[in-house]
Structure formats: C-alpha cells, structure tokens
C-alpha cells in the first residue's frame, strides 16, 4: 500500500496536534511551519479533516484547529479516509471485460485485501502513534 503525500501530511498534522494536548488550539500556518508542510496544502488538508470531524475548526482571532475527539478515539483509518475518501480494493476493467471470470476473481481478492488493510488501520489509534506504541 502506498500513501499519498496528502495522507502522510494529514497523519503528521493530526499526530502533531495530539502531541500538543487534547484541547490545545493549533494555528494552521504555525503547524505548517513546524511540520515543514506548504501552508496552502496543509490548510486544505485541515479543512478536509474538519469536514470529516477528525478536527474542529475554531473561528475568530484566537482560532485554529483542535482534535474533535480524544486521540484514543481517532484511528489511522479516520485520518486517511478523511483526505483520500474510502479505501477501495478494485481492479480496472476495460469495457466489456466485466463478464470475464478472472476479473471477477481478482476483484474478490482485492476486496478481501482491502478489508484486511482497513481493519488494521482501524486498530491503530492516533494516541498510539503519539506514544510510539503503534505496530
């Protein structure tokens, strides 16, 4: 499995926020500078994480972002799917190939593999990554 740069940045941002404390408000441009992530890119990621309710967006002069729930309740799957959409295991069919038996078997294999990946990512909590306990 290969993670996109967006997913990697999202994970780094959420772990960073969790490491700062559960209720601490983090300013987007400061997080970008600290993490070495282009500011505009990180801000788009933070918006996506807010839409997925991984983060809360706090408006106003003292605004920023904070975790929407405890780091023990946020999974790696939550973060990845917030910015990438649902993880799916599928193969690309060419037109007219959907009836081919091999393609149907391959689709089943990739769906099963994806489910294993999803279950594993769901077991890993942001809290575990902050504390170096993730396996």
pLDDT digits (tens, 9 = 90+) for 27-36: 999 999 999 9
**54: in domain:** yes
The Cα–Cα gap between 90 and 99 comes to 15
Strands 64-67 and 55-58: antiparallel
Question: 11 is in which domain, residue-wise?
Answer: 5-130
**94: in domain:** yes
Distances in Å between the Cα of 6 and the Cα atoms of 11, 38, 45, 96 are 9, 11, 7, 34
**64: in domain:** yes
* Top-confidence residue, 95 or 119: 119
Query: Please, what is the average pLDDT of the chain?
Result: 89
Span 69-88, average pLDDT: 94
Give the model's pLDDT for residue 132. Answer: 86
The one-character DSSP state at 60 is S
If one counts the domains in the chain, the total is 1
pLDDT for residue 84 is more than 70: yes
**24: in domain:** yes
**115: in domain:** yes
- Domain harbouring 90, CATH code: 1.10.10.10
**57: in domain:** yes
**135: in domain:** no
Residue 32, burial from CB neighbour count under 10 angstroms (0-12, 13-18, 19+): buried
Dihedral class, residue 60 (left if φ above 0, else alpha if ψ from -120 to 50, else beta)? left
**59: in domain:** yes
pLDDT digits (tens, 9 = 90+) for 20-77: 987 899 999 999 999 999 999 999 999 999 999 999 999 988 889 999 999 999 999 9
Give the model's pLDDT for residue 51. Answer: 96
The Cα–Cα gap between 34 and 40 comes to 14
């Amino acid at each position: 499995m290969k993670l996109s740069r967006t997913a990697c940045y999202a994970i780094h941002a959420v772990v960073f926020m969790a490491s700062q404390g559960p209720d601490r408000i983090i300013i987007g441009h400061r997080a970008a500078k600290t993490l070495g992530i282009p500011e505009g890119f990180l801000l788009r990621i933070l918006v996506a994480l807010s839409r997925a309710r991984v983060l809360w967006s706090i408006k106003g002069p003292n605004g920023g972002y904070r975790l929407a729930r405890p780091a023990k309740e946020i999974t790696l799957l939550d973060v990845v799917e917030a910015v990438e959409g649902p993880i799916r295991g599928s193969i690309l069919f060419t037109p007219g190939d959907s009836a081919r038996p091999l393609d149907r078997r391959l689709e089943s294999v990739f769906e099963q593999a994806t489910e294993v990946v999803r279950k594993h990512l769901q077991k890993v909590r942001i809290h575990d990554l902050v504390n170096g306990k993730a396996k």
